[in-house]
Each structure stands twice: as C-alpha cells, then as structure tokens.
A and B are shown apart, each in its own frame.
With several copies, the nearest count.
Chain A
Amino acid sequence: MDKRFGEFGGQYVPETLMEALIEIEEAFNKYSRDSIFVKELAELFDTVANRPSKLYYASEMTKDLGGAKIYLKREDLNHTGSHKINNVLGQMLLAKKMGKKKIICETGAGQHGVATATIAALFKMECHVFMGKEDVERQALNVFRMELLGAKVTSVDSGTGTLKDAVNEAFRQWTREIEDTYYLMGSVVGPHPYPIMVREFQKIIGEEVRAQIEKIEGRLPDAIVACVGGGSNAIGIFHDFVDDKKIRLIGIEAAGDGIDTEFHAATISKGSTGIFHGMKSKFLQDEYGKIMPVYSMSAGLDYPGIGPEHAYLSSIGRAEYYPVNDREAVEAFEYLSKMEGIIPAIESAHAIYYTMKLAREMGKDKIIVVNLSGRGDKDVYQVARYKGVDLDAQ
C-alpha cells in the first residue's frame, strides 16, 4: 500500500510504535479484502450506525438564500450523532479481528470518544479516551456520555489542553501498552495506515450521496462542502467524487477569531509543510517548526494539522479550502436551527456558513451538497455562553 499522497503522509513515529503500525497495516490489507469482514461491516453500518443517512433537501434554506439547491447529508442522525461512528465501526471490527482487547483514542469535540466508547461497550472492549482539559470543559456532556458507556476518560492538561495534546498523550499511553492495545485514530491523520484506513471507512458517505442525488436529481452535484478538522468527514464525502473533476470539493477550516489574528486553526490557509503526529502534512507552526497553539470555539476543528490527503488535494488544486470564523459559525448554527429545525454541530456549522455564501453566488440550477457531520446538542451550552446567556442561572 502506498504510504503517501504525493509528498504527504508517511509514518513518522517512535520505534516503539512501528511494529504495531505494521501489524495494523497488514490486518487492514487482509481484512479490507475479506468478504466476511466487508459484509459484517456493512451490517454494522446498517444496524448500529443507522445507515444509510438521509440526503435532505434544505428547501427553506434554499428558498431563503435564493441560489443553488442545497442538500444536507444527515450524518447527524447516525447513532451517537456524527460521522465518527463509521470509522469507529470499521476500526473496532478490525481490532476485534486482530484479537485486541483494549482500545485507546483521542477526542476533540468528544464525538469520536463517544462513538469509540459506544462501540467498545457493544464489542466488550476496554476503552480509554484522552481529551484535552479545555475540551473536557467545553464538551462536558460528552465526557459523561463516555463515562456512562464505561470508558475511562483522561483529561490532558499538558500543552494547550486541546486535541493535539490529547493525541500526544494517547500516543504516549499507547507506547506503554502497545502489545495488547489498539489505537483507534479518529480522523484521517496520523501515521500510515490511518489516513487511508479512516478514509476507506468514511467513504461510504460519498458513495451514498452519489446514489441518493442521482436518484433525486438525476445528476451529480456541482459542489460538495464539508468542515475540516483532521478531515475525515470531508474525505468521507469527497472521496467518491475526486475523479469527477467538474465537481468542486470544498473544505472549511476553523478561523477562530479570524485568520489575521493569532487565534485560529486554519491549517491550509495559514500553515506550512511539516512533519508531526506521524505524518508529513500542513501544520500551523513557527519558523523553527514549533507547533503553534491553535484556537477555535469548535473543539472538533481545534487542531493545528490536517490529514495528508487534504494537503495533497490542496497542493494539486483538486480541492479548495476556506476559513470560517467563530462568529460566522455561530451565525450558521442559529440560522440552520431556525431555518430548517436542525441544530448542527458547531463543526458542521462552519460548512453551513460557507454554503450560505456559496449558494447565493450560484445559480438556481446548481446543486450543493453539504456534509452535516454531526448534531449540535453537545454545543448548545457553549453557544449560549458565547452569546452571553448564563444557562446555569436558568
């Protein structure tokens, strides 16, 4: 299997982890071609993940914006409330086939942690989740969900106390118990084979979109929009369309307070090539290669890197990446809630905001599909706080 997307990707990890990665790669190679595995996974997608997720015509939004027709891919209606479950089912099934009994993972918004804890409970695996201290605070609901599901949640207060530090700590823990533990990476990041493997488990999103939009509209969309943290929901919906060159593939990064401030997480817009977390990709870093603290109100996008395949798609011009800031994301969060009665994850709200702009610019004969990667229940407290509402006082 090719370890790289152009120059990006690779396997930059401590020696202690190398054999484990090789073992995973071999297992993935074997099982992803194994018809029983493929069938079992398809069944889990159906019965556990609640797939296929609907492709929803956002008629009110479309009418209100007056431009392109907007469809929402409803990953928010998956079990546990986001696209993360697809990848978790794939990797957990693999881990089980590999005979592993313990799972560790990192989580940002907590959606990956919840999905992992959920499937670990179902598969009777021990589960240990690492989450940045700051994220533990802003996503308290998800922390207790994980604990309820039987997972151990470790709050990571080193570094900036966010997603990247959770990854660091999860890697550290993995080296300590490498022999019986599977690291279940939550996005298309990290060393090979994760970026490819996670993509393979997420590409169902785009495959479903193709069938659904063909059925509803009799044709493919003109643009596909998704938010990008590590990039798994974006790759998931892009992948099946990469060869349909006429379709614009658009990834939206978190601009936090704005890309002209120090407080953002807009990796493609403002980053440069580097090597971190096991991969060569784009990162927000200083002139010496120190990884920069990043900021977004969205815990799931608050990451200084991006999956190597996105770095590649960007470098060859196949996909475009734009920043959307906190204020705009909150605006879209409220807009979609009031317009369609759908509360999006604050991560997904970034993609919604860009779609609002894009739809207005495109003709009524055009079609945009947005990946609604998750639901926003986990974010209402934080948005309330952002807007100055004190919920505890209510």
Chain B
Amino acid sequence: MHNRIEKKFKELKDNNQKALITFLTAGDPDIDTSYDVVEQMINNGIDILEIGIPFSDPLAEGPTIEKASYRALASHTTTDDVFSLVKRIRENYDLPIILMLYVNLIYKYGIENFMKKCSEVGVDGLIVPDLPFEEVEEVKELAHDVNLLIINLVAPTTKSVRLKKIINKSEGFIYCVSSLGVTGERKNITTNLSDFYDRLRTETDLPLALGFGLSNKEQIDRLKGNWDGYIVGSAIVNIIALYGKEAPTHVGNFIKSLKD
C-alpha cells in the first residue's frame, strides 16, 4: 500500500469531502495545451485527474469526446506522447492520475510493456471502457505487478448477481455510470440515482464516484449528498473544443465555479 487513488479517497473521507475528478483528452488540440489545461485544473483544486488517450473508434463516447479524440489524433498524439505528458505532470504534481483508454491500445502496446511504462511515468490507475469485468483478469494481473489499479464501471443495468461479483473485485473506487448511453452532457438524468446509490452502498464500502452527463455545479450539488466523488468530462471537453489553445484559463474558471 498505498496507491495514490486510495490515499486520496481516504484523505477526502477523513475531511468529509467529495472527490472532483476531471477529464480531458490528451492532445486536444495539442499536447502542450493539454498540459496547461491540466495545470489550471490542478491549481483550481481538482482531486483526481483522468486523461483520455485518443482512439480512432471511441465507441463508448458521445459526440463530444469522440470529436476530441479525432482532434487529438489530427495532431498526431500517440500513446507515447501521453506517457510523456503524464511524466511532465508527475514531475510537478502528486495528485492521482488515471488513464482512460480503449483496450486495443493496451493490447497492441503489449500489456506488460504498457504497465511498465505507466509505472515509470507515474500513472495510478486505468479506466478501460471496453474491458468489462469478465475480460479484465489478464490485464489486471500485470497492472497489479506495478501497483496500478483498474477501475471497474457499474451501470444502472448491471444486475445484482454481477454487481456483487464486480464490486467484490473492485479496487480504488467504483465508476458509477449515471444513466444509460454514452458519455456526454445530459439535461436530465432519468436513472433513480438514490436507489442506485443504495444498491451499491449495501454491497461495498469502496468510494463510489458518479460519472456520465455531469455538466454544472447545480447538478453536482443536487447529487452531492451521497456519492464520494463526481467525474466531469464532456463539459470540460466542450470548453476545450470552443476555445482551443485558449482553453486553459477557461477550464480553470469552470473548475473554480464547481468548487465554489
């Protein structure tokens, strides 16, 4: 023990605080801007950083993050560029860093190689949207060798039998999908979230972070009561899409508005 993610959640809990986890796609619109965005996020008080590696076919994403992926690929961002970005961040900051990426990027890099590299640059965890619980073992073993956590997702559709199994094998925190569909901002979240929370909480003491569709402070405030953390992605990516290289300060302001 202990991984930075686990430590962060413990620390927040001890202070009766919620984790603010924010996402950006690395290389959107270029790697240097991504670094600046990250600094703004950190300086404005985020707790955990989630960095997406761009992929040609991000099929779990809605149009917002999908387009970010295409922009990042257009600026020729590779997995190695993302490792360099993480390395640069890690040289200056100690917050937990999670990579979000599609399984093929790990597989093609060579799973073991990939994990080694993560460990070298200071990655703390991985979120792999197309690697469900049933297929995770092969990757997880090699991740653990280098003290890297694999964050499981659960969805409102996940049934009890599997939910138990998933939760039993979860680590760090559980990424709870707020509603059906792909990533993206949502006006209304129709899932009954307090039922969802209760179902989960009866099964585990692990931190529960809510993601998919969170876009502003009011929404987050409304949900804050229960969850241990909330993940904001598309709302940030939208700002980056709008302002491009000028995005860092705008993202900083947005994060500040969430924290106020």
Using CB atoms and an 8 Å cutoff, list the residues of chain A in contact with chain B: 10-16, 18-20, 22, 158-159, 164-165, 167-168, 171-172, 175-179, 272-278, 280, 283, 285, 287-292
A14 lies within 8 A of B107 (CB): no
CA distance A386 to B50 in the complex (A): 48
Interface of A is mostly: mixed
A172 lies within 8 A of B132 (CB): no
**Which residues does chain B contribute within 8 Å of A10, judged by CB atoms?**
135
Give the one of B58, B80, B153, B157 with max A CB within 10 A: B157
B134 lies within 8 A of A158 (CB): no
CA distance A10 to B136 in the complex (A): 11
B132 lies within 8 A of A11 (CB): yes
CA distance A20 to B109 in the complex (A): 30
A275 lies within 8 A of B107 (CB): yes
Is the interface on chain B under 10, 10 to 19, 20 to 34, or 35 or more residues?
35 or more
**Which residues does chain B contribute within 8 Å of A171, judged by CB atoms?**
59
**Chain A residue with the shortest CB-CB distance to B80:** A288
A288 lies within 8 A of B180 (CB): no
CA distance A16 to B180 in the complex (A): 7
Task: Report B84-132 residues with CB < 8 Å from chain A CB.
Answer: 102-109, 129-132
**4 extra interface residue pairs, beta carbon distance < 8 Å, beyond A274-B107, A287-B108:** A11-B132, A158-B63, A172-B181, A288-B105
**Which residues does chain A contribute within 8 Å of B181, judged by CB atoms?**
16, 172, 175-176
Closest chain-B Cβ to A109's Cβ sits at a distance in Å of 20
B130 lies within 8 A of A16 (CB): no
Pick the contact of A168 from B57, B73, B79, B180 — CB < 8 Å?
B57
**Chain B residue with the shortest CB-CB distance to A280:** B107
B157 lies within 8 A of A291 (CB): no
CA distance A277 to B59 in the complex (A): 8
**Which residues does chain A contribute within 8 Å of B154, judged by CB atoms?**
15
B135 lies within 8 A of A176 (CB): no
Pick the contact of B182 from A18, A172, A289 — CB < 8 Å?
A172
B157 lies within 8 A of A20 (CB): yes
CA distance A280 to B134 in the complex (A): 14
What mask results when residues 55 to 78 of chain B are scored 1 for a CB within 8 Å of chain A, else 0?
Answer: 111111111001000100100001
**Which residues does chain B contribute within 8 Å of A158, judged by CB atoms?**
63, 66, 70
A289 lies within 8 A of B104 (CB): yes
CA distance A275 to B129 in the complex (A): 13
B109 lies within 8 A of A289 (CB): yes
The reply to whether the CB of B210 lies closer than 8 angstroms to some CB of chain A is no
Closest chain-A Cβ to B178's Cβ sits at a distance in Å of 11
Task: Report B142-164 residues with CB < 8 Å from chain A CB.
Answer: 152-155, 157-159, 162
**Which residues does chain B contribute within 8 Å of A290, judged by CB atoms?**
55-56, 73, 105
Closest chain-B Cβ to A86's Cβ sits at a distance in Å of 27
CA distance A171 to B181 in the complex (A): 9
Pick the contact of B62 from A22, A172, A179 — CB < 8 Å?
A172
CA distance A179 to B108 in the complex (A): 33
Closest chain-B Cβ to A323's Cβ sits at a distance in Å of 22
**Which residues does chain B contribute within 8 Å of A176, judged by CB atoms?**
180-182
Given contacts A159-B56, A172-B59, contact A289 B130 (CB under 8 A): no
B107 lies within 8 A of A289 (CB): yes
Pick the contact of A275 from B60, B61, B104, B152 — CB < 8 Å?
B104
Pick the contact of A14 from B70, B105, B153, B159 — CB < 8 Å?
B153
The reply to whether the CB of B177 lies closer than 8 angstroms to some CB of chain A is yes
The reply to whether the CB of B35 lies closer than 8 angstroms to some CB of chain A is no
Task: Report B2-16 residues with CB < 8 Å from chain A CB.
Answer: none
The reply to whether the CB of B133 lies closer than 8 angstroms to some CB of chain A is yes
Pick the contact of B131 from A12, A168, A277, A283 — CB < 8 Å?
A12
Given contacts A285-B104, A287-B108, contact A175 B180 (CB under 8 A): yes
Q: Which 9 A-B pairs have the closest CB atoms?
A: A289-B108, A176-B181, A289-B104, A168-B59, A15-B153, A291-B56, A290-B56, A14-B60, A16-B155
**Which residues does chain B contribute within 8 Å of A177, judged by CB atoms?**
180
| 21 A–B contacts, CB within 8 A, in A order | A12-B130, A12-B135, A14-B129, A15-B152, A15-B154, A16-B155, A19-B157, A19-B159, A20-B157, A158-B70, A172-B59, A172-B62, A176-B181, A178-B157, A275-B104, A275-B130, A277-B59, A288-B105, A289-B79, A291-B56, A291-B104
Closest chain-A Cβ to B25's Cβ sits at a distance in Å of 14
**Chain A residue with the shortest CB-CB distance to B157:** A19
Closest chain-A Cβ to B181's Cβ sits at a distance in Å of 4
**Which residues does chain A contribute within 8 Å of B132, judged by CB atoms?**
11-15, 18
Given contacts A10-B135, A289-B108, contact A18 B158 (CB under 8 A): yes
B162 lies within 8 A of A18 (CB): yes
**Which residues does chain A contribute within 8 Å of B79, judged by CB atoms?**
288-289
**Which residues does chain A contribute within 8 Å of B180, judged by CB atoms?**
16, 175-179
CA distance A324 to B163 in the complex (A): 48
CA distance A18 to B153 in the complex (A): 11
Closest chain-A Cβ to B244's Cβ sits at a distance in Å of 20
**Which residues does chain A contribute within 8 Å of B130, judged by CB atoms?**
12-14, 275, 278
**Which residues does chain A contribute within 8 Å of B62, judged by CB atoms?**
172
CA distance A285 to B56 in the complex (A): 10
Give the one of A15, A168, A274, A275 with max B CB within 10 A: A15
